[in-house]
Every structure is written in structure tokens, then in C-alpha cells.
Structure 1
Amino acid sequence: MDVMLCTASILTLLAISVDRYLAVTMPLRYASLVLPWRVAVAMASVWTVSVAVSFLPIQMGWNTVNGTVQNHGPWAPKRTCRFELNRPYVLTDSLLTFYLPLVAMCWTYLRILHIARAQAKRIISARPTCITSYDCRNNPPTNTTLVSSVTAVALREHKATVTLAAVIGAFVVCWLPYFLLFTVLGLKEHPDPQTVPEFPFVLWLGYTNSALNPILYGALNRDFRSAYTHLLKCRCPIYSRWRSSQPCPTVTAARDQLTEVTLLCGHTPDSCRAGQTDQNFVLQEMSSTSATTTIHFANGTAATDVNGNER
């Protein structure tokens, strides 16, 4: 059970990294690729491989030096569970359940980071560099030139880097010591790793990764937070009653809290600084019953509402 659950945890992290990779590299095809039945097949494959890796070699005696089945028969010591290791078993098990998944996860997350940076730079190249701010409380509009593009790119890259470092870092820190010791003991064909003083410590360090994963993914990924909220609403009656008792904010309250609207301007910085007036602004007037969009032209000749009717 121990080997099965640890293997399932690691392979699930690999499946999540592949899912994130598809979402970033194929955003338009993602919904048609990641279907519920394919997710179910992936999860079934994770648990099938975990069961096969954990039970089959041990029950067949493939992990022992002489090929005998451990902890079975009249000669087996009572109330003890030994876990003997040999070179072929250790190398195969560690490659399939840790080293290859680690390489795959690092590659997918590095690709995600690279693509995220490229997308952010493309957005910046197409984004206007001059913005006009309009105070909603009947104050005159002011033109300001802000250099915020570089800051936006830096924030996106910082967030992507933090996410990558947290996920990969926690996985490596928690599991690498165990598998390094596991590999070394297997190459030495140790008769019982449980007797090694460091083995329980590195094993529990690996268990810690399974406790950290829900926290890390929930804190760093909006989709996971939404899934947690959905599960809590469905499974927890107390949480459901609390959510239903919360007042829904009205549009009027949101309007009262609004202090400033930032409007994008399509002019170059020079034209904005020159004070050209041929600018079109789109303002949104919110009421408690409806939302009306008014388009004010520079010459004041036309204005339309949200339905396209002339006002």
C-alpha cells in the first residue's frame, strides 16, 4: 500500500503537469482534447500502473536477490515486514515512478514558463502605451502617460516563476532524498532498508509532499481554487449554508465604490502629449437595474446605449 499510494501521488502530479501544458500550448483545442472520459482513462492508468508497480513485483519475488517471495511461508518472521531490494527492481521502479516523471515535469513546466513569457511580450507589443484616466466623480479628465508594460510583464513572469519554483521545488525537496537513498540501497542489494536510520526520515519527507500539494496548487492555480470551492459547496453543508447566507453585492454598491475608470487611448505617446482631441472614449454608466454604455465622440455628435440605439 505504501508503494502504491506514493506512486499514485507522483504520477498524478505528472498528469497535472501534462494537463497544464496542453492548456497553455493548445488553448483553442484544450476543451476538445481534455474530455471527461479521457481524464477518467488517465486516472485509471495512474492507479493501474501504481498497483502493478507496487504489488506485482513483490508478490512475484522480483525485488529479492534470490527470487523468493518475502514475508510468506512458515520461515517468515512473525510481526515483521521486510522489503528486500535488488538492482533490477530498484532501477526499474525508481526510473518509472520518479526519475522519468521528474524529467517530464521539469520539461513541461519550463515550456509553460517559456510560452507564458512569449505571450506576455506579444501582448505588450500590441498594447497602447498611452492611457487616459477619467474621474467618475465629475472631475475633469486628465491625460497621463504611464510606462506600465514592463511592470506587467515582470509581474507575469514573476508569478509564473514562483509557481514553477514552488511546485517543482516541493516535489524535488520532498522526494529526491528518498529515491536517492532507495537507489543506493538497491545497488548495494540491502536486505532490509527499514533498518537504515535515515530511511524513515526520508520516507516521511516524501509523505509531506502529498500534504503540501493541495495547498500549493490551491494557492497558485485559480482552477484548483474553483474546484475546491465547488467540492466544499457540494460536500460541506455548513459551507453551503454560509455561502447562501452571504449578501449578493448590487451594481449600485459596486458603482459607489468605483472612484476611477482607466480608458485606453489608441494614440501614440507624442500625439497624446500634443493634446490632440480626436479621441473616442467608452464610459459605462451602471444603475441598480441595468448597465448602459455611452459612447462620447470628440465632436459630441453621437451617443448610443448598450442596445445600439441612438441617444
Structure 2
Amino acid sequence: MSSSPGIKPREHVDMVYISIETAIALASVLGNVLVVLVVCVNRALRNATFSFIVSLAVADIAVGILVIPLAIIISLGFNIQFYTCLFLSCLLLIITQSSILSLLAIAIDRYLRVKIPTRYSTIVTQGRAYVAVCLCWILSFLTGLVPMIGWNNHDAQRNLSGSSDFVCNFTNVMRMDYMVYFNFFGWVVLPLSIMIALYVEIFRVIRRQLNRRAEATCDGDRYYRKELKLAKSLALVVFLFAVCWLPIHIMNCIDFFCPKCQVPKFAMYVGIFMSHVNSALNPMVYAFRIKRFRVTLIKITRRCMCCKPPEPTPCPTSTPALTEKVDVN
């Protein structure tokens, strides 16, 4: 009964960790597959903004299918070769980078839409949006694979790096100066700061335009009110990203700048959970905050789960020119 007091608690913690991670993975995959399906079904959502939202959803699907299983493998400390473990760790960083770059692309897109509404459709075309999505993923791969070309702990683990006794752990292969200076300060704090500045400017421009048109009822007033509502929803996505990802990065900073400070393993698990939960939260924001998305999602649910045919979409009553002018998400 008491011959192995340290094994059973460890096994219990691992089982709880794996169970929670599995639930998060399922929720993330299901929710974000629905996001992609909604955009594919509703033609009104096939624009530049939702191209970036689909890119973000694909990254969140990858979190459920790839990142969380890899995080479980790495956390359990399996014995594999050094560079295999390093490559698996780099995949985690690639998905994170693609998420934050997609959020940055969304913020830039919304900024252009309210700053230059008359020229927006000629500057931000669907083709250019696809190119921007591809660039986000290419840049994510390049920055995420930087440890593979030398910025890693290979020298510190030289004696065990080629041995089958090497325990695969994120901190064993990844250097903390890379995680803090390059990954956190360079590719998390800086993009988040830019996004905050862009959304502040977006809200300022929209408020100014609405105040100018306070006494008039026109298409411009409707345009900026819808833009304000969508900007609030997308700013909430950025806020949730920051809340969910900053704890784990702050703990990395503590580990790097204060080596004597011990971060509790429970706190580290909570930080990992929060970073993964973020992928499951985004579809909820879209569903509750964006009406077109919510209506399409309800139609899909009725058709696929309740075996009910989708309700016909009412024909637009406005003229084509007016629809083009106030076409917002």
C-alpha cells in the first residue's frame, strides 16, 4: 500500500492532465471545424476578414489534433532522440505563431476597413487576403523552426542528446533565452501591442464618424455601427488570447530571470491549460457576438443534428449598390 508513495500521486496528476487536455482538444476541433463550415456555407462571410478567421480556426484545429497530443507526449517525458523532441516542441511554437499572426492580420484588415472605407475593396482583395494568409503561415514556420538551426539546448544536453536515455521535455531542448527574448518579447508582446494600438484607433475613428452622423440617418451610420459591433467582437478574441497565453509566458520569464524561483508544477499545468483553452473559446465568441455567423450555425445544426431542412435565406431588399456599400460582417 505504501511502498511507492510517489508513483500513485504522479499517475493521478498525469491522468487528470490527460483527461482535461483531451476534453479541450475535442472542444477545439469540433468548434473550429464548425467555424470553417459556416464560412464555407455562407457566401456573405467569404471576405478578407473571415479568410483570416478561417486561418485562425485552422490553427486552433491544429491545436486540438496536433499540439495537445504533442504536449501530452512531451509532458510525460518519453525517451526519444534530442532532435526529434526538439522538432515536436517547435511544432507547438509554429501553431502559436500562426494564431497570433492571424489575429494581427485581422486587426490590420479592420483598421483599413474603417480608415479608408472607400478604397478598402480595391486594396484588400480576396486574392491579397489569401496571399497574406500564406505569408502568416510561412513566417510562422520560419520563426518556429529557429531552434532547429542551433538556438537550442543541444550543447547542454550533449552527453544525452544521441542516447535513448534522453527524456523529452520542452525545457530540456528549448533555451529559455529564445523563449523569452525571441518568442515572447519579439513575437507575442510586439504583435499584441500593435493590435491594441490598432483597435484603439479603430474605436476612435468609428466613434468620431458616428458623432459626425449623429443627427443623420444614412448608410454611413449603419456601416460604422456594424463595424463597431464587429470590432468589439474581434477585440474580445484578442483579449482572450492575451489572457490565455500570457500566464505561461510569464512563468517562462520567471524561470529565466529568476532561476532560484520555483514555479509550482500545478501552476505550470494551469498555464498550459489556459493556452490550449483559448482555441476552444474563439468559436463561442463568433457564435454569440456575430449575428450572421450565429444564424448560419443554427441552420447547420438544425440540418445536420435535428434532421431539419435549413430555413430559406430572405432575399435582400436593398439595391446591389447599397449592399456593396454596407457589406459588413
**Range into which the TM-score falls when normalised by the shorter chain:** 0.5 to 0.7
Q: Structure 1: how far apart are the matches of 2:144 and 2:165?
A: 20
Q: Does 1:176 align with 2:265?
A: no
- Per the alignment, residue 257 of structure 2 pairs with 187
- Which digits, 9 at most, give the CA deviation of each residue in 1:90-126, with x for residues without a partner? 2011123210111011011111111111111111144
More helix by share: 2
Q: Structure 2: how far apart are the matches of 1:25 and 1:240?
A: 43
Q: CA deviation at 1:86?
A: 3.4
Q: Structure 1 residues 203 and 249, CA, compared in 2 at 3 Å: closer, same or farther?
A: closer
Q: Structure 1 residues 108 and 239, CA, compared in 2 at 3 Å: closer, same or farther?
A: farther
Q: Structure 1 residues 3 and 212, CA, compared in 2 at 3 Å: closer, same or farther?
A: same
Residue pair 1:178, 1:203 contacting (<8 A) in 2 also: yes
- Per the alignment, residue 185 of structure 2 pairs with 95
- Which digits, 9 at most, give the CA deviation of each residue in 1:201-244, with x for residues without a partner? 11220111121122213433456558x659959xx973898445
- Per the alignment, residue 152 of structure 2 pairs with 63
Question: Aligned to 1:202, what secondary structure does the other structure show?
Answer: helix
Q: Aligned letter for 2:124?
A: V
Residue pair 2:113, 2:120 contacting (<8 A) in 1 also: yes
Equivalence map 1:1-311=2 (5 Å)? 1-57=91-147, 59-64=148-153, 66=155, 72-74=161-163, 77-78=166-167, 82-126=172-216, 163=233, 166-188=236-258, 196-222=265-291, 238=304, 242-244=308-310, 246=311
TM-score (norm 2): 0.54
Q: Structure 2: how far apart are the matches of 1:198 and 1:176?
A: 13
Q: Give unmatched runs, 5+ long, in structure 1.
A: 129-148, 251-311
Q: Structure 2: how far apart are the matches of 1:203 and 1:184?
A: 15
Q: Structure 1: how far apart are the matches of 2:159 and 2:235?
A: 40
- Which digits, 9 at most, give the CA deviation of each residue in 1:61-92, with x for residues without a partner? 30338476898412651565634323255201
Question: Aligned to 1:198, what secondary structure does the other structure show?
Answer: helix
Q: Structure 2: how far apart are the matches of 1:220 and 1:158?
A: 12
Q: CA deviation at 1:9?
A: 1.4
Q: Structure 1: how far apart are the matches of 2:126 and 2:289?
A: 23
Q: Structure 1: how far apart are the matches of 2:159 and 2:290?
A: 44
Q: CA deviation at 1:36?
A: 2.1
Q: Structure 1 residues 69 and 175, CA, compared in 2 at 3 Å: closer, same or farther?
A: farther
Q: Structure 2: how far apart are the matches of 1:70 and 1:9?
A: 36
Instruction: Give the fraction of aligned pairs with identical amino acids, expressed as a percent.
Output: 27
Q: Structure 2: how far apart are the matches of 1:69 and 1:21?
A: 49
Q: Structure 2: how far apart are the matches of 1:180 and 1:213?
A: 22
For CA contacts below 8 A with separation 6 or more, give which structure has more relative contact order.
2
From the CA coordinates, give the structure whose radius of gyration is larger.
1
Q: Structure 1 residues 249 and 157, CA, compared in 2 at 3 Å: closer, same or farther?
A: closer
